[in-house]
Structure 1
Amino acid sequence: MTPSPDLKIVETRVYRGANIWSYEKAIHLVVDLGSLEEHPTDKLPGFTDNLLQMLPGLREHSCSRGRRGGFVERLNEGTWLGHVAEHCALALQQVVGHDIRRGKTRQVKGEKGRYNVVFGYVDENVALAAAHLAVRLVNHLVQADPALDWDEELESFIKRAERTAFGPSTQAIVDEAVSRDIPWIRLNQHSLVQLGQGVHAKRIRATMTSATSAIAVDVASDKDLTTRLLGAAGLPVPKQESVRTVDQAVSAAKRIGFPVVVKPLDGNHGRGVCLDLRDEEDVREAFPIAEDQSRRGTVIVESFVTGKDYRCLIIDGRLAAVAERVPAHVVGDGTSTVQQLVDLTNADPRRGVGHEKVLTRIKVDKAAIELLESQGHTLDSVPAAGEMVKLTLTGNMSTGGISIDRTFEAHPENVEIAEEAARMVGLDIAGIDFICPDITEPVRETGGAICEVNAAPGFRMHTHPTIGDPQFIAKPVVDMLFPPGATSRIPIVAVTGTNGKTTTSRMISHIFKGLGRKVGMTSTDGVVIDERLLIRADASGPRSARMVLQNPRVDFAVFEVARGGILREGLGYERNDVAVVLNVQPDHLGLRGIDTIEQLADVKAVVVEAVPRDGHAVLNADDPLVREMRRKCSGQVVWFSMAEPGSEVRDMIDGHCRRGGKALVLNASDRGEMIVVKHGPREMQLAWTHLLPATFGGRARMNVQNTLAAAAAAFAAGAPLHDIRQGLRTFSTNYYLSPGRLNEVEVNGIHVIVDYCHNAPGMRALGDFVDRVGETLTSVHELGKAQRIGVIATAGDRRDEDMRELGEVAAEHFDVVVVREDANLRRRAAGETAGLVADGVRAAMARGARCRQVEIILDEIDAVRHAMARANPGDLVVLCVDTHPAVMTELESWSSWAQAGAGASDDAPAADPDYTPAAADGS
């Protein structure tokens, strides 16, 4: 069979944090090889040689061999083209300076010819572009594509990467932060970056920081004001005047005395600066050039100070580096023209456009030609060997100049002058420009002066000098923002599991709120910052987590982490100090390639893998799948369990504690169940379960388990026991503390429970609670028997068998089951999901289940009204809700009718298909 260029990307995911494939952020492609599945590289003549010619960097890849050239060996032996695409994507990123080497390719289980291709990245846009170009390249090598010009495509890719790359100054600071384990978030597509998290966060934009004074920046931008301030402090500055017209400039030049300099009042990067103007005509020609670069239209005329151009970098009041700036020039060789020398200089790989590389290409413009003429040259002239021909007068790197490191040569008096200048202007990071004959001699004696003070000075002349040693100037910047010993991270507690995540997250948040912490919490209900609901939505994914980490008020984070977010984008952060795994139950199977409960456990285990060595994983010892996650934890394991003493699980926990471990367990006595904290040989009593409001006197067993998990997480995070105890005693499942999670209200004598239960495992736990509560109810109706009415539903993206199972479980605990549907049908037809759930109820009824009647009412509010209309005082109604604000509004209306004297069964609001509650803004 002749190979065809069939490689294609069928699915793309960007993981922005720890994920199921990698501890770090990664790109995940699902690729289809098509006919190429039958053609590994050893069966494609010339493929390997052509590939290595186009991407020679592949010769350095070790692949699984662990040595240089390992990937080339794999190519010669024969490897599949999905694997080749992975390495090409890595090599393309390396071409643009992104040193990424992490990658793996694995076949999609059960799908021949499809592969998961996973590789790391620095910039996701660059990585995605690399992935698509890699696929095009592989297909081109299989069968030549006339439309693909490799050199042109590679250059286009490089230019795209340069557009989104950090500048050298920002990159230097970010690299230093990473080396210190300081987390960072890019806030836009330019140079605005957040270093640190929450309350500890600092921001930088290039070399301006969140501590940079706006007034100081304005002062530095006004060169006239800067000179006057420095002069008033006794610092050496040139004579200077501000003008707005050519005639004023000429007059000022005469008063100051020729030669003079004409430059914009508020320019930058040396643009519009004209030096060594020796007569009136020079001033008149220079004025419009300077005026064009002045934002306010004001031009500065100052005395021309002769000497070399030096940049002193001041960071946090101290000198960090000194560089001598040499204007763009070429040196004659006796045979080449000026133009040829410029081209040769620009061919240096270190030179690029603007700030994309450590040096900037020399631009030959009108000003350069005029400067050449003043030196007796044209572009076609052949300078003598060793002759220096200037192409600009200013030494700015942005105009093609070079730099020479002079950090350890500056005279102490000059250092003191530069530091004082930065203090006078008020800049935390400042570039002080000296013009003087020699920086090693005091400028007051040699006649030098400060010609400019710059805010946001560039770092590349110091980090990448053309001559001399590089200076690590990012270190003092990060030291200024995060002094040694300062904290850059906030504690993060991540909570995952099939059921109980939201309640447990709320419990943990409540405990730390009692400690005075400003808690940022994400859950399926929204984003909460310091008890204020900022966004009402399903916020259990990575984007919401990043939103919390960016909030400057937050000093403690609690994240509910759902399966969907992990599969879609990863965690969205690097690591969590405490990972809580409550349980793993068969829910959401059949979605995104997760078909078994073991695969689902691997997804949940991502939060455990994100625990650092000094962190903790709080694991449910009663769940076998959760117990296995201990092997994936780099930190300490804290167990929680409801097992009885003497059981196999408790024996395992006792052995763990004998080795110095931690655990929370239940100890039963005649007085009730006591939550006990075990740490090594010590046992500390925490609280009676029946005295905690969230447990409903110990009857809500799922909340007993959630309480154990929350207390264990708080203990692992360093909360004192008495504060944990107080938090648990004051946390209840009322609507204000835990909306939509086991809220108990009484409406006209009817006991109503509002919960979120949407799956069979959750219904078993809720059913156990219903049975325990139901035993205590006494009907006041003439029939004398309290009935249990349940309104249930599930999401449309569950499997059919899961929907039927939900109905079967509900039928065991309710006398009447009303089946409704969520507003979001998730690609199901209206009535389809409810029909499957009702089928499960009927099947259980046929086997003798408790339920005696099942009804289908699709609209949520209509279903609630119907259930309430059927109920009598003393009955129990359980509402499994989707939009709890709308349901609670509806229940309040029933209470209002009762308070007004209306009978609940006769005059209560009727089911109206067009009814839309005012508070139904969803979650």
Structure 2
Amino acid sequence: MANFKDIQLLRTTFLRGPSVWTYRPILEVWLDLGELEDFPSNKLPGLNERLTAWLPDLVEHTCGVGERGGFIQRLEGGTWMGHVLEHVVIELLNLSGMPAEFGQTREISRRGIYRMVFRCPEEAVARVALEHGHRLLMAAINDQAFDLKAAIQAIKTAINDRYLGPSTGCIVDAAGERRIPHIRLNDGNLVQLGYGAAQRRIWTAESDQTSAIAEGIAQDKDFTKRLLASCGVPVPEGQIVNSAEEAWEVAQDIGFPVTVKPSDGNHARGVTLELSQEADIKAAFALAQPEGSDVIVEKFIDGIEHRLLVVGGKVVAATKGETVSVHGNGQATLAELVAVLNQDPRRGPEQEYPLDWIDTDKGAVQLELKRQNVTPATVIPKGQSVLLQRNGNMAIDCTDDVHPDVAYYATLAAKIVGLDIAGMDMIVKDVSKPLQGQGAILEVNAGPGLLMHLKPTSGAPRPVGMAIADHLFPREDGPGAGRIPLVGIVGTRHNAFIARLVGWLLQLSGKLTGVASSEGMFIAGRQTQKANAAHWAGAHRLLTNRLAQAAVIQTTARSILEEGLAYDRCLVGVVTDMDGYEGLADHDVLEQAKMTRVLRTQIDVVLDEGAGVLNADIAQVAELAPLCDGEVLLYSTSADNAAVAAHRAEGEGRAVFVRAGQVILATGASERVLGSLQALSLPGGQQPDTTALLAAIATAWSMHIGPDLIAAGIKTFEYQI
């Protein structure tokens, strides 16, 4: 069999926003198949068998056939290696736990060169998947060995390193269901939901409504307990201690059994329960001390550990815990029994697992074993149980069982501390009965983990991400949550002028407006950056600015091809022309007709309640109208423009045009004169380009800015760079 040279990866580009391919982030790869251009899949003996042996779930890929097994049909019928690589990468991502259903491969004008894309929200993960998919395909082509397990693990590692944690991720996903956009602000879990002044920020399960004072209170468990007790909330008696000897003295005063725990730890680290012996209490002090600034000894409350999630003053989810034990068989050592226990698919070291592995070397487990006089090497007699862990296993959903009185005290505790999102740790014998006399609140946690509610070991998952999204963006506020009026402008003709004039008119209408243009960045008319901002980074800076109540963003065809749009949707999309293909040969845009596929991206992202503003004097631009999900406004320098006439004849179609030197605003057959071109001049009598002026007028009108304000705004617009 021939030994084929590697497919060459000529360049890779991560498109972070809507692009010519899709609305979502993708990796675009230019491939040179080389000699493999003459060898589709049906001409490489054994290739298809090797691929399906390594990746049997390729049968699930419908491909263009539209049915299960569609891609296999394409393989057997003969398809080119760029297309095969697309499906290999997608399947590797699927096997790594990240569903990736979208991909496309297209040949360009040069023989053997293809553009292949696949969807992936994180660039680093996409590149790792591409690397291993490329290696797998070449190994299959050349009948070589390939370590599939190692490849999947490498992709999983990249996912764990780069993806949002489960708590943050579920909130972002819920916001996405409500079409609330998001921007990741760092490499961790700090995420902005919404744009500009309409944004909210989250960091895991904390929000920008989470008070730093409240978080500080929650971290001080002793102070929290005293604060709750002063307001009538049941809490266990306890006291801060400074030494192991003092821990023993306080335990005697409080009465046995007791709990020893750190004052400001979390995730049950350093917590030891139901202690009565001096040696155990002193050992528990040593275990708790490294986990917090102080150590608390408190009365042990008999009952079952529960975690209630409070969001916006409501209990939205609850789980309860269970102790962890192993049962002897008379043959296996404790270590061997624990190893079997850790094979439970619900247990693992990463955040995606609801339960941790049991580590017999950890202090809390060691202390439990010491109290039972066993070691990891002990062979456990048949029928004997060994308790490994008393707490930290709250993963059984019990939301529907929570008594209103229990919920009342949970929400009251959150309000007393001042947290909008809180995890309430409670000991309750029966959560379906009133709290008084049979339970108490142990801790109030800021930034609680949500995984136990998303992946309970028993019971139904709870939509806690949506509860937090609804808390941050109340549904009663109506549609458009998290969005500001956003205008996107693409083309080449006077677009900076259009962007700035539209920004000025929005500013006059009462919205503090930001403009990102090729002439710089402007906030409320003040230039904050002189460098070209008509690209993804410039728009991104504007959309993260909390001052911006509205935004006007200029972009270019090259930016769409190389970065994608910086926003997912816009209220108004403006296309001024189809010029510039001559400078895009490196993207295989070799004729003006191909500009339609590029610039339609701006119209594709217009919201249903928004508008597309199109230059009717250029037929190729006007032909984008059917692609717009919202209203369409046309503008033209001529009242006799055929596209404008047809648009108006449809009924209520709006258009802006010039007749006998007068600018006309038309809605169907109705017309209003805005003013003469001579009168609609800038300060000092400066006459702007007529087409650019009409584009700005149509854009402002599409946003329901009144004609009188538009006319007055033009006359007061100081256009200086």
Q: Which residue of 1 aligns with 2:515?
A: 521
Deviation at 1:145, TM superposition (A): 5.4
Deviation at 1:169, TM superposition (A): 1.4
Deviation at 1:84, TM superposition (A): 1.2
User: In structure 2, do the counterparts of structure 1 residues 512 and 75 end up closer, same or farther at CA, with 3 Å as the change threshold?
Assistant: same
Deviation at 1:228, TM superposition (A): 0.5
For 2:297 and 2:626, how far apart are their aligned partners in 1?
72
Matched length: 715
Aligned pair partner of 1:506 in 500, 505, 514: 500
SS in 1 for 2:296: strand
Answer yes or no: is the 8 Å Cα contact 2:19–2:561 preserved in 1.
yes
CA displacement 1:546-597 (0-9 Å, x = unmatched): 1111111111110111122112101121122211122233553534332222
For 1:328 and 1:315, how far apart are their aligned partners in 2?
29
Q: C-alpha root-mean-square deviation of aligned residues, in Å?
A: 2.2
Q: How high is the TM-score relative to the length of structure 2?
A: 0.95
Alignment of 1:420-459 (within 5 A): 420-446=412-438, 448-459=439-450
Deviation at 1:696, TM superposition (A): 8.1
Alignment of 1:535-554 (within 5 A): 535-554=529-548
For 2:324 and 2:44, how far apart are their aligned partners in 1?
50
Q: Which residue of 1 aligns with 2:347?
A: 351
CA displacement 1:21-65 (0-9 Å, x = unmatched): 223322100011122222222222222222223223322111101
Answer yes or no: is the 8 Å Cα contact 1:162–1:356 preserved in 2.
no
For 2:573 and 2:684, how far apart are their aligned partners in 1?
27
The letter of the residue matching 1:237 is V
For 1:538 and 1:559, how far apart are their aligned partners in 2?
12
* Pair 1:393 & 2:408 matched: no
Q: Which residue of 2 aligns with 1:901?
A: none
User: In structure 2, do the counterparts of structure 1 residues 102 and 620 end up closer, same or farther at CA, with 3 Å as the change threshold?
Assistant: same
The letter of the residue matching 2:152 is L
Q: Which residue of 1 aligns with 2:36?
A: 36
Answer yes or no: is the 8 Å Cα contact 1:332–1:386 preserved in 2.
yes
For 2:347 and 2:212, how far apart are their aligned partners in 1?
33
For 1:342 and 1:53, how far apart are their aligned partners in 2?
35
User: In structure 2, do the counterparts of structure 1 residues 93 and 618 end up closer, same or farther at CA, with 3 Å as the change threshold?
Assistant: same
Deviation at 1:641, TM superposition (A): 0.6
Aligned pair partner of 1:719 in 669, 687, 705: 705
SS in 2 for 1:272: coil
Q: Which residue of 2 aligns with 1:460?
A: 451
Answer yes or no: is the 8 Å Cα contact 1:5–1:143 preserved in 2.
no
For 1:57 and 1:539, how far apart are their aligned partners in 2?
45
Answer yes or no: is the 8 Å Cα contact 1:495–1:559 preserved in 2.
yes
User: In structure 2, do the counterparts of structure 1 residues 128 and 364 end up closer, same or farther at CA, with 3 Å as the change threshold?
Assistant: same
Aligned pair partner of 1:584 in 554, 578, 582: 578
Q: Which residue of 2 aligns with 1:414?
A: 406
Answer yes or no: is the 8 Å Cα contact 1:16–1:573 preserved in 2.
no
Answer yes or no: is the 8 Å Cα contact 1:333–1:385 preserved in 2.
yes
SS in 2 for 1:408: helix
User: In structure 2, do the counterparts of structure 1 residues 63 and 697 end up closer, same or farther at CA, with 3 Å as the change threshold?
Assistant: same
For 2:331 and 2:40, how far apart are their aligned partners in 1?
54
Q: Which residue of 2 aligns with 1:919?
A: none
**Structure 2 unmatched ranges of 5 or more:** none
The letter of the residue matching 1:604 is L
**Structure 1 unmatched ranges of 5 or more:** 740-923
For 1:637 and 1:443, how far apart are their aligned partners in 2?
60
* Pair 1:138 & 2:137 matched: yes
Answer yes or no: is the 8 Å Cα contact 1:589–1:600 preserved in 2.
no
Q: Which residue of 2 aligns with 1:266?
A: 264
Deviation at 1:412, TM superposition (A): 2.3
Q: Which residue of 2 aligns with 1:405?
A: 397
Aligned pair partner of 2:286 in 264, 285, 288: 288
For 1:387 and 1:190, how far apart are their aligned partners in 2?
45
The letter of the residue matching 2:219 is S
CA displacement 1:830-862 (0-9 Å, x = unmatched): xxxxxxxxxxxxxxxxxxxxxxxxxxxxxxxxx
For 2:353 and 2:187, how far apart are their aligned partners in 1?
18
User: In structure 2, do the counterparts of structure 1 residues 697 and 584 end up closer, same or farther at CA, with 3 Å as the change threshold?
Assistant: farther
Deviation at 1:457, TM superposition (A): 1.1
Answer yes or no: is the 8 Å Cα contact 1:327–1:402 preserved in 2.
no
The letter of the residue matching 2:232 is G
For 2:543 and 2:11, how far apart are their aligned partners in 1?
29
Q: Which residue of 2 aligns with 1:241?
A: 239
Deviation at 1:106, TM superposition (A): 0.6
Answer yes or no: is the 8 Å Cα contact 2:632–2:653 preserved in 1.
yes
Q: Which residue of 1 aligns with 2:674?
A: 686
Answer yes or no: is the 8 Å Cα contact 2:308–2:317 preserved in 1.
yes
Alignment of 1:588-737 (within 5 A): 588-643=583-638, 645=639, 647=640, 649=641, 651-659=642-650, 660-668=652-660, 673-694=661-682, 700=687, 703-732=689-718, 737=719
358-367 or 182-191, larger mean C-alpha shift: 358-367
User: In structure 2, do the counterparts of structure 1 residues 385 and 504 end up closer, same or farther at CA, with 3 Å as the change threshold?
Assistant: farther
User: In structure 2, do the counterparts of structure 1 residues 349 and 282 end up closer, same or farther at CA, with 3 Å as the change threshold?
Assistant: closer
Aligned pair partner of 1:225 in 223, 226, 240: 223
For 1:577 and 1:385, how far apart are their aligned partners in 2?
70
Answer yes or no: is the 8 Å Cα contact 1:100–1:122 preserved in 2.
no
SS in 1 for 2:589: coil
Alignment of 1:299-378 (within 5 A): 299-331=295-327, 337-367=333-363, 368-375=365-372, 377-378=374-375
For 2:522 and 2:326, how far apart are their aligned partners in 1?
61
332-341 or 244-253, larger mean C-alpha shift: 332-341
For 2:126 and 2:630, how far apart are their aligned partners in 1?
32
The letter of the residue matching 2:621 is V
More RCO (CA 8 Å, sep 6+): 2
User: In structure 2, do the counterparts of structure 1 residues 331 and 552 end up closer, same or farther at CA, with 3 Å as the change threshold?
Assistant: farther
Deviation at 1:511, TM superposition (A): 0.8
Deviation at 1:293, TM superposition (A): 0.9
Deviation at 1:130, TM superposition (A): 0.8
SS in 1 for 2:623: helix
User: In structure 2, do the counterparts of structure 1 residues 31 and 717 end up closer, same or farther at CA, with 3 Å as the change threshold?
Assistant: same
The letter of the residue matching 1:463 is L
Alignment of 1:864-879 (within 5 A): none
User: In structure 2, do the counterparts of structure 1 residues 567 and 682 end up closer, same or farther at CA, with 3 Å as the change threshold?
Assistant: same
For 1:49 and 1:591, how far apart are their aligned partners in 2?
37
- Please identify the structure whose Cα radius of gyration is greater: 1
CA displacement 1:798-826 (0-9 Å, x = unmatched): xxxxxxxxxxxxxxxxxxxxxxxxxxxxx
SS in 2 for 1:580: strand
CA displacement 1:459-495 (0-9 Å, x = unmatched): 1111211111222122221111000143311111111
For 2:22 and 2:683, how far apart are their aligned partners in 1?
38
SS in 2 for 1:312: strand
Q: How high is the TM-score relative to the length of structure 1?
A: 0.74
User: In structure 2, do the counterparts of structure 1 residues 62 and 317 end up closer, same or farther at CA, with 3 Å as the change threshold?
Assistant: same
362-371 or 21-30, larger mean C-alpha shift: 362-371
SS in 1 for 2:533: coil
User: In structure 2, do the counterparts of structure 1 residues 692 and 180 end up closer, same or farther at CA, with 3 Å as the change threshold?
Assistant: same
Answer yes or no: is the 8 Å Cα contact 1:37–1:80 preserved in 2.
yes
For 1:440 and 1:585, how far apart are their aligned partners in 2?
69
Deviation at 1:418, TM superposition (A): 1.4
The letter of the residue matching 2:389 is T
Q: Which residue of 1 aligns with 2:179?
A: 181
Answer yes or no: is the 8 Å Cα contact 2:307–2:394 preserved in 1.
no
Aligned pair partner of 2:470 in 442, 465, 479: 479
Deviation at 1:529, TM superposition (A): 1.8
SS in 2 for 1:166: coil
* Pair 1:21 & 2:18 matched: no
SS in 2 for 1:612: strand
For 1:80 and 1:329, how far apart are their aligned partners in 2?
56
CA displacement 1:761-806 (0-9 Å, x = unmatched): xxxxxxxxxxxxxxxxxxxxxxxxxxxxxxxxxxxxxxxxxxxxxx
User: In structure 2, do the counterparts of structure 1 residues 545 and 206 end up closer, same or farther at CA, with 3 Å as the change threshold?
Assistant: same
SS in 2 for 1:572: coil
